[in-house]
Amino acid sequence: MPVARRRARALTALTAAAALLPLFGTAHAAEPGAARDGALQQAFATAAARYGVPLPVLLGVSYMESRWDGHDGVPSVSGGYGPMHLTDIRTALADHPVTGPGDGGDGRGDDSRPLTAGAASSPASASSSADAPVPAALSTLDRAAALTGRTASALRGDETANVAGGAALLAAAQRGLGEPLSADPADWYAAVARYSGADDSGTADSFADEVFDVMRQGQSRTTDNGQAVRLAALPTLTAASGQASEVGLPADDSSLTECPPGLGCAWVPAPYQQTGADPGDYGNYDLADRPASQKIDTIVIHDTEATWDTTLRLVQDPTYLGWHYTVRSADGHVDQHIATRNVGWHAGNWYTNATSIGIEHEGFLTDPDAWYTEAMYRSSARLVRYLSQKYGIPLDRQHILGHDNVPGPTASSVPGMHTDPGPYWDWGHYMALLGAPVHATAGSWGGEVTIDPDYAANQPLYTGCTTAGAACPAHGSDAVRLYTAPSTDAPLVQDVGLHGATGAGSTDDVNDVGARASTGQQFAVAGRQGDWTAVWYLGQKAWFHNPAARPTAVNATGLVVTPKKGLASIPVYGRAYPEASAYPAGVPAQPISPMPYTVLAGQRYVVGGLVHGAYYYSTTFDPASHQVVRGRNLYYEIQLGHRVEYVLADDVTLLPSALG
């Protein structure tokens, strides 16, 4: 969504922030290492016993809020602290002020119909108000302090105190429902739902359902400060009779939404309306009839780069951009804005927009410690699984794209393409939640690798989160860096589209995707040397550190393309448009514009799929003239670099990657 290159921050309205705010932390995450003895595990056991909460319930709720991480006392996107995500929005705002989204950029990405002047800029932010009321869901830390006698400072910064505060809140919720402090986790469904802070029954129930699923499956992991925590599986656990009916929150009207059953989802429509006298002045999406008119084969994952309230205000502004869904951080609530049959303006590439669904997630890519909650990851994964099944979208990283993986439609657009959700989005965890975990599918003979670093242990240096050149907080990352030789002393590979053929070269800036490969992306192997692996990337051989003792990729096999025999090189495209002869009278032929990249003879790139050239002509408010132009051109989508691209099928040979 809004540009992910913004760095300056200033205080926004507390009223706008009151529905879950993004925050920036300067503290560094603990360096990964061997798991320490179970001090945090003991803290959970002690708090559970002290407040009469079943230990699995306490562990399950904390896992949903933070996956048991403390984030070094830095507040989350929604102003929550510690493993139990106790919220203190006033302190979070005072210590970590935020801004609005800034320039939205060209989310439509269509040469034949540029955005109108007002469509790329956001409405003015509201003025700040220190006296604005704070919803109870954003001030749970104060109540935890009253229940436990602990100071607010301790509840924010001490994990043991934080766990005790969460246990006290759960016990208070159980008593408030008129229920006894039962030792049976089955009796705590309604209290867990209330703990979510959701204001509708669908979201509260969805949160509780996920917590109960966590308890049934069990979990075990090492936290961000090296604590080993374990929740034993309770495979037969179900909520006790009558618990679901006790949640007692109003239901959202979800009759117009396209969401899976049981997911808290509301209809908050984006406006399709004319904004000026010119028939081309309209927003903020296009009417269509997908999949009858055009296949939906891609889902684009964004982060909002704005507060929840600001995000909803923007998507309801016809002079701004439009996307299909937004997912809230604190409780995983989903709002749908555009019917999936219609085309949103979100990806910055019209071809991608015409064949995709855009999902925004409340958060900031430059705020690694303002974490994406497990509730948000799980709600998003449930939604994407549903959409994947509905439209036959493959659950792989060439069809489940980050906004930072969407290609620029033309060479000139590459430097301005967005970079969210960025290197701190945990693609490995997300793909596992989708039911498509990254795993080896071949030995070293397979000819491909799938990027798969250990997220927590993989902490490459990034700069530019606050100031250009300044180090970002140390944090787990899904990305590996690519070098021109098997050494970290070698230069990073060059992205000529991003930096120019004679530019300064790729950098470690958090928004520079020129020499980056992310979890789940697949590349053809170009060589191996000791602890290093080379892949074909942006028309060159790119090396990344891949030691056997701590691998950052797994072996795979599949299909690749290489230039046809006799061709020294072939062009690459950012969109798969038809040939000029396919356009009927009245529809201007769109140029098949080559990107600044080329694929040289002998190089290989992993194939995501075969697509027919198509262009959705839609330049006026009246949909009567809208039509999909189809041609004879066939393209392969390939993983060229960090972004996907397209090559003409006539230019390449398709072959198994295992063939040497």
Look at residues 431, 253, 393, 405 and name the one whose alpha carbon lies nearest to residue 336: 253
Specify the 3-state DSSP secondary structure of 545: strand
CA 189 to chain centre: 28
Specify the 3-state DSSP secondary structure of 63: helix
Residue 112: predicted pLDDT: 84
Rounded Cα distance, 570 and 597, in Å: 9
Look at residues 419, 425, 436 and name the one whose alpha carbon lies nearest to residue 495: 419
pLDDT, tens digit, 9 for 90 and up, residues 472-513: 999 999 999 999 999 999 999 999 999 998 777 899 999 999
User: What mean pLDDT do residues 101-130 have?
Assistant: 61
Phi then psi for residue 432, to 5 deg, are -65, -40
Answer yes or no: is pLDDT of 535 > 70: yes
pLDDT, tens digit, 9 for 90 and up, residues 62-74: 999 999 999 989 9
Answer yes or no: is pLDDT of 605 > 70: yes
Q: Which amino acid belongs to residue 244?
A: A
pLDDT range class, residue 21, cuts 50, 70, 90:
very low
User: Is 150 in contact with 144 (CB distance < 8 Å)?
Assistant: yes
Rounded Cα distance, 644 and 507, in Å: 20
User: Is 358 in contact with 302 (CB distance < 8 Å)?
Assistant: yes
Look at residues 551, 516, 511 and name the one whose alpha carbon lies nearest to residue 421: 511
Mean pLDDT of the chain: 90
User: Is 464 in contact with 443 (CB distance < 8 Å)?
Assistant: no
Residue 100: predicted pLDDT: 60
- Enclosing H/E stretch for 380: helix 374-391
Annotated domain spans of the chain = 14-246, 449-660
Answer yes or no: is pLDDT of 105 > 70: yes
Rounded Cα distance, 430 and 359, in Å: 14
Phi then psi for residue 231, to 5 deg, are -120, 115
In percent, the amount of the chain with pLDDT more than 90 equals 81
Phi then psi for residue 357, to 5 deg, are -120, 130
pLDDT, tens digit, 9 for 90 and up, residues 162-183: 999 999 999 999 999 999 999 9
Q: How does DSSP classify residue 625?
A: G
User: Is 451 in contact with 520 (CB distance < 8 Å)?
Assistant: yes
Answer yes or no: is pLDDT of 16 > 60: no
Residue 54: predicted pLDDT: 98
Cβ neighbors of 377 (< 8 A, separation 6 or more) are 426, 429, 430, 433
The b/e string for 207-218 (b: 16+ C-beta within 10 A; e otherwise) is: bbbbbbebbbee
In percent, the amount of the chain with pLDDT more than 70 equals 90
Q: Are strands 86-87 and 80-81 parallel, antiparallel or unpaired?
A: antiparallel
The neighbouring-strand residues paired with 610 are 636
Instruction: Give, in degrees to the nearest 5, the angle at Cα 316 between 426 and 110.
Output: 75
User: Is 108 in contact with 345 (CB distance < 8 Å)?
Assistant: yes
Rounded Cα distance, 112 and 629, in Å: 14
Range of weakest confidence among 118-122, 300-304, 318-322: 118-122
Answer yes or no: is pLDDT of 41 > 70: yes
Residue 2: predicted pLDDT: 45
Name the more confident of 339 and 503.
339
Specify the 3-state DSSP secondary structure of 445: helix
User: What's the maximum distance between 2 C-alpha atoms anywhere in the chain?
Assistant: 79
User: What mean pLDDT do residues 34-53 have?
Assistant: 87
Name the more confident of 542 and 30.
542
Cis amide leading into 421 (omega within 30): yes
Answer yes or no: is pLDDT of 31 > 70: no
Q: What is the DSSP string of 19-58?
A: T-------SPPPPP-SPBPSHHHHHHHHHHHHHT--HHHH
Helix 140-148 / helix 159-176 crossing angle, nearest 10 deg: 90
Range of weakest confidence among 106-115, 209-218, 593-602, 628-637: 106-115
And the tokens for 195?
């703990």
User: What mean pLDDT do residues 97-111 have?
Assistant: 74
Rounded Cα distance, 297 and 400, in Å: 9
Name the more confident of 126 and 43.
43
CA dihedral 427, 430, 432, 435 (to 10 degrees): -120
Q: Which amino acid belongs to residue 481?
A: R
Rounded Cα distance, 283 and 272, in Å: 5
Rounded Cα distance, 625 and 303, in Å: 33
- Enclosing H/E stretch for 433: helix 427-433
Residue 12: predicted pLDDT: 35
Residue 37: predicted pLDDT: 57
Answer yes or no: is pLDDT of 7 > 50: no
User: What mean pLDDT do residues 433-449 have?
Assistant: 97
pLDDT, tens digit, 9 for 90 and up, residues 129-165: 445 678 888 899 999 999 999 999 999 999 999 999 9
Q: How does DSSP classify residue 345?
A: B
Residue 599: predicted pLDDT: 98
pLDDT range class, residue 306, cuts 50, 70, 90:
confident
Q: Are strands 325-327 and 356-361 parallel, antiparallel or unpaired?
A: parallel
Quick count: other Cβ atoms within 10 Å of Cβ 439? 11
